[in-house]
Structure 1
């Protein structure tokens, strides 16, 4: 038997998986003590059951991560047979190497915490850096959202897929091949923490519709700047396909006021409301297929 455990921050995806898999979904009771320590209680029998814990570690990243770890520990102590962590968006994935003096490798530490808590299998989506998989010693499945987005552009002709930086080039090339489109790259450089500059597009975008393809939109700065540069270079229009809509600070306002016409995202991170520019693509079946494979093997 299997059960799904989740917090109220990922309840929509958890409920969808519950219906798809035909298993019970229980929302953990998560409260705070006076000093803001978290208290997690899961009121169900989990002994000798396969427990599927659904929780993205999006903002506030530290709270969501701690909730995940505490839910895992609770399931382990209750005698769960197998613990499968479904973490569509894995926070700290961008910190896969030290980029400043005496800095930590935060992604490796998070991997160790998840392992020690008691996770047997981790299922995630579009890790920012593929090398993060290597930080884990447990079974990790890094699913790919590109086929979901590719279906949106199967019948589209004469457009260009754009990587907003050189780091996403390989991802963009693969997507371009899927949809039969040419690709271009924005030359982006980071001058200091959380700021970047762009001044060149490598590839022809003149008189073309452009689709920016990336894994994360956080503050929205990269996406908005890339769109402005593409339009300045003669692009007819700009859309975006982004796996994880983190949307920190005033990102929603920036994107709403930007010249990007449509933004396609997944429901890897739960949002109660997004503007009419956003089109949400469901990842339920993608994760359900992988969960079935793990449980049945």
Structure 2
């Protein structure tokens, strides 16, 4: 889980999040006349040949008027195209493979039941309870180191998702942050889950969280980039397995993180809703829904 300090820096938020902002041609054929086949001498000796009767002339033929060409016949309906069986078989096989691949990809993106990933609320589930559309942000698979706090005994309050609370001994850990959009953080929802060997170990972690908050009404937090912010902490409900409190930035123009914690068997989970409006009810509903998915 990402602590209050690193949450704003990494987009990953177990820590209280400072308010955004305060923080395209052929030649013509030649005529050829054969030269005379006789010489002048031959011409003198030549006798006129007997004239042959004129050839009978053929009677004129009557002109036949041109016949107009028949209009082209209207095209008939085209014969239906028949796809070869081999083509149809190939297309069908390709579709089956495509659908199968899509199902495989989808199944790979789903969390495995019984894992910490399956316990965390999805962006859609969180959106429905928070009343605003949220998208997935950063995640963490181990608690970050403690944050610097002034006074120093407020390390739990400024970093409830850090090693100040989730001490060594956890079996699995997951911190997840959801926000309005990639670069929009008007609403932030964080979920943190640490699973220990048994309920006794989880109980000790929960007590550390409770006592650390009760002893710190206000603190100044120093983030990893050396920026500082001041927060006022108010515990609203404290029990053996339930804890709720607020962390108000000072000054923050109404920016508050509404936080809830639950212990369920060997698991300790937290939820935070950070926004300028009232997120108290959303935080409680998110915590209850989160706890219902955690095995205990």
Q: Using structure 1 for the length normalisation, give the TM-score.
A: 0.24
Which structure carries more strand by proportion?
Answer: 1
TM-score, normalised via structure 2 length: 0.24
Max radius of gyration: which structure? 2
State the structure with bigger RCO (CA 8 A, min sep 6), 1 or 2.
2
